[in-house]
Amino acid sequence: AVVWPLKISQYYLGRIPRVHNHITRELISDTVKRRKLASHLSADWHTNAIHLAGRIFGSIQRTMAERASS
């Protein structure tokens, strides 16, 4: 049976840091640009979390396969 490490994965739930709280008006005064940046950062974070989860899962699968063949 395939088991995910720690039996949980929540990257697909959109659980990412609230980046928009850290992009202040002092940093970027234009509201549209501020929201656009926050949206892009959130999307990139989500995509990278999915890639990382895949790499972790692949690594675990390889390790388990090596142990099974030994």
Gyration radius from the chain CA atoms: 18
pLDDT at 14: 58
Asked if 34 contacts 25 with a C-beta cutoff of 8 angstroms, the reply is yes
Per-residue pLDDT of 23-67, as tens digits, reads 999 999 999 999 999 999 988 988 888 888 889 889 999 999 999
Percentage helix, strand, coil for the chain under 3-state DSSP, each rounded to 5: 70, 0, 30
